[in-house]
């Protein structure tokens, strides 16, 4: 007599050798058990074969990209993910989070400020004014005028707009040389967080902690509630980012 | 360079297996890829919690399984008073005449979908993914006896569904 759990444990190779030999002999001597063993082996291999097709398929590009860019989004709920897919709307986090490797801010800021020019010949996105790092004219214009929902073809791209806990409006940005976020202060945009973009990354800089989206962590540390949606973003623009 | 590049490379190499596990748990291929993506995102955020030298695959499977459970619970709350239309459609599809390499997969997913969640995860881990009873019990945080008895119930139900035998 072979107990059911033991029969299947034997089938799965989970029994110690002595028990396995005993069950094997019992199964061989019993036509009904032999038939069950065959059926279950066939079913398991059918199941493996069916799901093996998934393993053999090419991996969808969006998944590899998610790893390559350290992609981060608020989508952790599959129901939400499905709604997002059906809306065909690009989540704001996705737009904001296209960062690759980042660098320690100090080194990088020094480079941008002293060089004055980013690697591609465009002007630096930041400048020092009155002891504070603020957005340069180009970046300031983008922060003041651009909507995440209507990205421009060139120049800084705007990702998220949100309020920080003290009530000020902040926006994330990304251009070829850098990404970060800036908050509204005294009629301008004060740089609050800055990371070097992948394209201008110089080989003599040591990589920081890799492509983990540090910008999103920095945003999460100061954000009050949820990011503004497209309508709220437009309203905030119309209201002068107050 | 820190080891971060190696982490991403290993994660990329495990993607085919992670997708396979996701298909075993999910009710549609699109849901499976959303689950895989959510797992990648969670893993990248939580990478500091993975201890180098331990198995990355088990860690990732555990993340995926926990995300899936969260989804199942959320869906159960939401659909308590709704008919599960999508499920009915998936199971109701008549496979006859459909000559398709994905047919076997479709049938297998439909059959898995009909298993209770606690049997489905055990079947997926052990029969499909090839983990041992002990590994599965550690991953799921369950006694090994619970794992093996869920596996027995799940595979018996699957055999009935996949061999077309109606015994219930």
> How would you write chain A as a 3-class SS string?
CCCHHHHHHHHCCCCCHHHHHHHHHHHHCCHHHHHHHHHHHHHHHHHHHHHHHHHHCCCCHHHHHHHHCCCCCCCCCHHHHHHHHHHCCCCHHHHHCCCCCCCCHHHHHHHHHHHCECCCCCECCEEEECCEEEECHHHHHHHHHCCCCCCCCCCCEEEEEEEECCCCEEEEEECCCEEEEEEEECCEEEEEEEEECHHHCCCCCCCCCCCCCHHHHHHHHHECCCCCCHHHHHHHHHCCCC
Residues from chain B contacting residue A39 (CB–CB below 8 Å): 159, 163
Is there a contact between B104 and A67 if contact means CB atoms under 8 Å apart?
no
Query: From B31, which residue of chain A is nearest by alpha-carbon distance?
Result: A78
Q: Hey, of A47, A62, A72, A212, which one would you mutate to test binding to chain B, going by the most B CBs within 10 A of its CB? A: A47
Is there a contact between A39 and B34 if contact means CB atoms under 8 Å apart?
no
As for the ipTM of the complex, it is 0.84
Q: Please report, for chain A, the start and end positions of each structural domain, with discontinuous segments joined by +.
A: 4-56, 64-238
pLDDT of residue A74: 36
pLDDT digit string (tens) for B51-101? 988 899 999 999 999 999 988 888 777 666 554 444 444 444 444 433 344
Task: Name the minimum distance, in Å, from the CA of B38 to any CA of chain A.
Answer: 5
Which domains are assigned to chain B? Answer: 1-82 (1.10.1740.10), 115-168 (1.10.10.10)
Contacts of B19 (CB under 8 A, 6+ apart): A54, A55, A57, A59, A63, B32, B33, B36
Is there a contact between A56 and B16 if contact means CB atoms under 8 Å apart?
yes
Query: From B165, which residue of chain A is nearest by alpha-carbon distance?
Result: A39
The answer to whether residue A65 neighbours chain B at the CB level (below 8 Å) is no
pLDDT of residue A69: 74
Q: In angstroms, rounded to a whole number, what is the distance separating the alpha carbons of residues B108 and A10?
A: 24
Residues from chain A contacting residue B104 (CB–CB below 8 Å): 46, 49-50, 53
Q: Which of residues 109 through 168 in chain B touch A, CB cutoff 8 A?
A: 109, 123, 126-128, 132-133, 145, 148-149, 151-152, 155, 158-159, 162-163
Contacts of A141 (CB under 8 A, 6+ apart): none
**What pLDDT tens digit does each residue of chain A (242 aa) get?**
789 999 999 999 999 999 999 999 999 999 999 999 999 999 999 999 999 999 888 999 999 888 887 644 434 445 555 555 554 333 334 334 333 333 334 344 555 554 444 444 446 777 777 767 788 888 888 888 888 766 666 777 788 888 988 889 999 887 766 778 889 988 888 888 777 654 444 333 333 333 335 677 777 778 888 788 888 888 998 888 98
The answer to whether residue A80 neighbours chain B at the CB level (below 8 Å) is no
What is the pTM (predicted TM-score) of this model?
0.55
More confident residue, B108 or A85: B108
């Amino acid at each position: 007599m072979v107990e059911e759990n033991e029969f299947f444990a034997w089938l799965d190779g989970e029994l110690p050798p002595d028990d396995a030999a005993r069950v094997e002999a019992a199964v061989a001597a019993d036509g009904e058990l032999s038939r069950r063993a065959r059926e279950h082996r066939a079913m398991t291999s059918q199941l493996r074969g069916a799901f093996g097709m998934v393993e053999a398929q090419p991996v969808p590009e969006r998944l590899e990209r998610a790893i390559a860019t350290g992609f981060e989004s608020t989508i952790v709920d599959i129901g939400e993910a499905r709604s997002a897919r059906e809306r065909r709307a690009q989540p704001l986090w996705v737009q904001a989070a296209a960062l690759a490797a980042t660098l320690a801010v100090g080194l990088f800021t020094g480079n941008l400020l002293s060089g004055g020019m980013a690697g591609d010949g465009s002007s630096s996105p930041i400048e020092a004014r009155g002891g504070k790092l603020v957005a340069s004219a180009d970046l300031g214009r983008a922060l003041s005028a651009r909507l995440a929902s209507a990205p421009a073809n060139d120049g800084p791209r705007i990702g998220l707009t949100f309020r920080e806990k003290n009530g000020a409006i902040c926006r994330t940005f990304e251009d070829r040389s850098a990404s970060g976020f800036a908050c509204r202060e005294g009629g301008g945009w004060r740089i609050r967080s800055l990371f070097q973009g992948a394209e201008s990354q110089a080989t003599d800089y040591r990589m920081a902690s890799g492509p983990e989206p540090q910008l999103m962590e920095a945003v999460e540390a100061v954000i009050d509630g949820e990011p503004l949606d497209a309508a709220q973003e437009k309203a905030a623009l119309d209201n002068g980012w107050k | 360079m820190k080891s971060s590049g190696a982490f991403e490379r290993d994660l990329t190499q495990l993607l085919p297996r992670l997708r396979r596990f996701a298909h075993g748990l999910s009710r549609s291929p699109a849901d499976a890829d959303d689950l895989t993506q959510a797992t990648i995102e969670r893993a990248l955020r939580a990478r500091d919690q993975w201890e180098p030298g331990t198995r990355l695959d088990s860690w990732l499977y555990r993340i995926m399984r926990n995300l899936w459970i969260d989804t199942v619970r959320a869906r159960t709350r939401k659909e308590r008073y709704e008919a599960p239309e999508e499920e009915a459609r998936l199971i109701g599809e008549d496979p006859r005449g459909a000559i398709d390499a994905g047919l076997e997969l479709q049938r297998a997913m439909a059959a898995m979908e009909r298993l209770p969640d606690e049997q489905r995860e055990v079947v997926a881990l052990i029969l499909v993914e090839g983990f041992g009873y002990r590994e599965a019990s550690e991953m799921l945080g369950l006694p090994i006896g619970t794992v093996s008895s869920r596996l027995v119930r799940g595979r018996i139900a699957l055999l009935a569904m996949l061999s077309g035998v109606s015994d219930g």
